[in-house]
Amino acid sequence: MTRLIAERTGTILPGEPGYDEARKALNPALDPHPAIIVDAAAPADVRAAVAIARDRGLPLAVQATGHGTHVAADGAVLLRTSRMNQVEIDPDRRVARVRPGARWGQVIDAAAPYGLAPLAGSSRDVGVAGFTLGGGVGWLSRKYGLAADSLLRAEVVTADAEPISTDDHPDLLWALRGGGGSYGVVTGLEVRLHEVPVVHAGIVPFADLDRYRDWVATAPGEVSTALIISPEGVKLKVMYAGDDPERVLGPLGVSVEPMAFGQAVMGGTPARHLDFFHELSDEVMAVAVRAGEQATVEIRHWGGAIARHAGPVAAARASFSVIVSEPLPGLAEALAPHATGGSFLNFLADTSRTRQAFTGYDRLAAVKRAYDPGNLFSVGHTVS
C-alpha cells in the first residue's frame, strides 16, 4: 500500500525528502505531523487524495495558503492545493475562474487591466477558496456584498472521490457560500467581478468618536470604514467606491486619496477577541475606548449590501464588529451583554465556537450529511 501511494504524483510520506517542508503550517503555534501529504497539481490528484483518505479511514485536511489553518493535521491526509493556482478572467461575463490554490493578489492583478475588481479582503496573500467559503468580507462588501455571495459556481470533489458541479447541486452552492469547507474539496471556483475604476482610500488620524457614530448611522453602501483605537491614538480606515467622495466624506471631515483598488493598503487587526453588534451603544464604545488603552481595537462597519446575504453567515445580520488584538481580562464579559452572540468563520480560530458563525445550522448539517456522511473533512472548522 505504502509503495503504491508513494508512486502517485505529489505524494509525500513521513521520513521522505520534502516531508518537513510540506507539512509546515503558516501558524508557528502548529507543528503538524500528517500521515500522508498530497501536493496536488490537478483535480485528479485531489480525487486520489480523497480516495486515499477514505480507503485508509483517515481525516482529510485541505490547505491552500495556511492563513485559515487553526488545527494541526496530525495523522490526517494533508492535501495541499497551492500548486493549483491558475486564474482566468472573462471580462465579458465579469467573472474570474480560479483554481483552489490561487491568492487574491493574483485575481486583483489579472482583473485590473479590465477595470474590474474582486471582493477581496485586506491581504493579497490570502487564498480565494478559504476566504470565499468562510464568508469573505472585503472593503467593497458594503457596496457589493460578501465574497461568498459572489461565488457563482464551484467544482467539488466529494467524500466518495467523485467530481461534481454546484450547477447540479444548488444545496451545496448554498452551503459553500459562507458555510466553510467541510462538504468536499473545491477544485475550481467562479467568482463575480465588479467594475471599480477608482477608489478613495486611506487610513487617517481621527478623534471625534461621537461624530463618527452620528455619520455612520446613515453612511451609504459605497463607503466602508473602521475605527482603530490604540495606545497610539484613534485612526479611521476609509474606502469609498463612488463618484462623489466630498459629499459622503465631507461631513466626517476626512479626505482620502484616489487610487486603484489594488493599491489600497487597509491592513488588519489580529482577532484575539471578536464580537458583533447591532449598534454602537455608549456602553460598547466605553469598553472599546478602555481596551484601546492597552491593545488595538478595530470597530468595523458592516451592513449595506452585506445584509442582503441569504446564506448561512451569521455576521451578515450585524452592523458592527469589534476586534481586539489581545484577550484582555474582563473584556469578553463587558461586551457580551451587548453583542449579538454570533461570530464570523474567517475571523474565528476557536473551532469549539464554529456553530456561532452560522445561521441555519440544521440546513448546513443536512448538506454535510448528504455530501460527507462519514465526516472525512473533519479537520478545523467543521459542521456535524
Ligand X SMILES: Cc1cc2nc3c(=O)[nH]c(=O)nc-3n(C[C@H](O)[C@H](O)[C@H](O)COP(=O)(O)OP(=O)(O)OC[C@H]3O[C@@H](n4cnc5c(N)ncnc54)[C@H](O)[C@@H]3O)c2cc1C
Residues that bind ligand X (CB under 6 A): 62-69, 81, 100, 121-123, 126-127, 129-131, 133-138, 180-181, 185-186, 268, 346, 380-381
List all residues 6 or more positions away from 7 whose beta carbon is below 8 Å from its beta carbon: none
Q: Among the residues of the chain, which ranges form H helices? A: 2-7, 19-23, 43-56, 104-111, 128-133, 141-144, 170-176, 209-216, 245-249, 282-291, 331-335, 361-371
Q: How far apart are CA 63 and CA 40, in angstroms?
A: 10
Least distance (Å) from ligand X to the CB of residue 362? 20
Least Å distance, CB 379 to ligand X, is 7
CB of 103 to ligand X, least distance (A): 7
* Greatest Cα pair distance in the chain: 69
CA 104/CA 129 separation, integer angstroms: 9
Question: In whole angstroms, how far apart are CA 354 and each of 69, 340, 350?
Answer: 13, 15, 7
Nearer to ligand X, 209 or 260 (CB): 260
The terminus-to-terminus CA distance of the chain in angstroms comes to 31
Shortest Cβ distance from residue 98 to ligand X (Å)?
Answer: 10
Angle between the 209-216 and 282-291 helix axes, to the nearest 10 degrees?
130
Q: Which is nearer to ligand X, 11 or 158 (CB)?
A: 158
Strand partners, 62: 79
Alpha-carbon span 286 to 267, nearest angstrom: 24
- Min dist CB 330 to ligand X, Å, is 27
Closest CB to ligand X among residues 110, 129: 129
Indicate the residue among 130 and 292 with the shorter CB distance to ligand X. 130
The least CB distance from residue 251 to ligand X, in Å, is 26
Of 162 and 293, which CB lies nearer to ligand X in the complex structure? Answer: 162
Contact 322, 277 (CB under 8 A): yes
CB of 261 to ligand X, least distance (A): 13
Minimum distance from CB of 150 to ligand X (Å)? Answer: 12
Asked if 162 and 185 touch (Cβ cutoff 8 Å), the reply is no
Nearer Cβ to ligand X (120/287) = 120
Kindly report the backbone phi and psi dihedral angles of residue 164, in degrees, each rounded to the nearest multiple of 5, phi listed first.
-135, 165
Quick one: which H or E segment has residue 73?
none
Residue whose CB is less far from ligand X, 68 or 292: 68
In 119-179, where does DSSP find H-type helix?
Answer: 128-133, 141-144, 170-176
Own/partner pairs, 164-171, CB within 8 angstroms, 24+ separation = 171/366, 171/367, 171/370
Per-residue buried b or exposed e for 330-369, using 16+ beta carbons within 10 Å of the residue's own CB: ebeebbeebbbebbbbbbbbeeeebebbbbbbebbbebbe
Using the minimum distance from each CB to ligand X, give the nearer residue, 148 or 287: 148
User: Shortest approach of ligand X to residue 329 CB, angstroms?
Assistant: 25
**21 burial via Cβ count (<10 Å: 0-12, 13-18, 19+):** exposed
Looking at beta carbons only, is 133 or 357 nearer to ligand X?
133
Q: Kindly state the smallest distance separating residue 323's Cβ from ligand X, in Å.
A: 11
Which residue, 222 or 372, is less far from ligand X as judged by CB? 372
